């Protein structure tokens, strides 16, 4: 039985497709739906500079958070068009895969729905967020292309 669904939102096309699947599942099973966005930490890789001004990092962090907040609001607007949906939203900070897995575990979610690729570049050495979520989650994970 699917009673609680967590869908990860980051503003990417794949996350948008994942939201569509999550909305369909939530409607079919009358499940609660959590839209979760996780603002990742800002890293600057500037090999030629030894010092990075903290103001630049602060501004980049604010801009990144605003971008993720906007993506979450857009997803919420779309989800609210689904009749009788029990919808919740949450914005967190941290490593996306770790926060998604921990939120699903502590919230006792039945399934996690994620896009196969997000906004970040795919790092073949570390794997994508979706593959790390699938590897570490205690519940089923639906990865949507």
Q: What is the pLDDT of residues 44-60, one digit of tens each?
A: 656 555 555 577 778 88
Confidence of residue 120 (pLDDT cuts 50, 70, 90): low
Residue-level length of the chain: 145
* Domains of the chain, residue spans: 4-144
Q: Which residues of 27-39 are buried (b: 16+ CB within 10 A; e: fewer)?
A: eeeebbbbbbbbb
Q: Is the pLDDT of residue 65 over 50?
A: yes
- Lowest mean pLDDT: which of 58-62, 99-103, 137-141? 58-62
Q: 54 vs 107, which has greater pLDDT?
A: 107
Which CATH number describes the domain made up of 4-144?
3.40.50.620
Q: What is the pLDDT of residue 121?
A: 47
CA distance linking residue 127 with residue 137, whole number of Å: 15
Q: What is the pLDDT of residue 55?
A: 74
* Contact (CB, 8 A) for 6 and 103: yes
The model scores a pTM over 0.95: no
Mean pLDDT over the full length of the chain: 88
Q: What is the pLDDT of residue 17?
A: 95
Q: 49 vs 69, which has greater pLDDT?
A: 69
- Lowest mean pLDDT: which of 36-40, 117-121, 127-131? 117-121
Q: Is 38 helix (H, G, I), strand (E, B) or coil?
A: strand
């Amino acid at each position: 039985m699917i009673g609680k669904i967590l869908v990860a939102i980051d503003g990417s096309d794949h996350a948008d497709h994942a939201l569509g699947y999550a909305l369909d599942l939530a409607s079919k099973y009358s499940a609660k739906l959590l839209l979760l966005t996780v603002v990742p930490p800002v890293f600057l890789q500037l090999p030629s500079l030894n010092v990075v001004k903290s103001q630049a990092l602060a501004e980049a962090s604010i801009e990144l958070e605003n971008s993720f907040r906007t993506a979450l609001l857009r997803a919420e607007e779309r989800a609210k068009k689904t009749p009788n949906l029990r919808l919740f939203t949450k914005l967190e900070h941290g490593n996306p895969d770790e926060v998604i897995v921990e939120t699903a575990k502590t919230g006792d979610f039945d399934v996690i729905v994620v896009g196969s690729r997000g906004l970040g570049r795919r790092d073949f050495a570390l794997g994508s967020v979706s593959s790390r979520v699938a590897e570490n989650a205690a519940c089923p994970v639906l990865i949507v292309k």
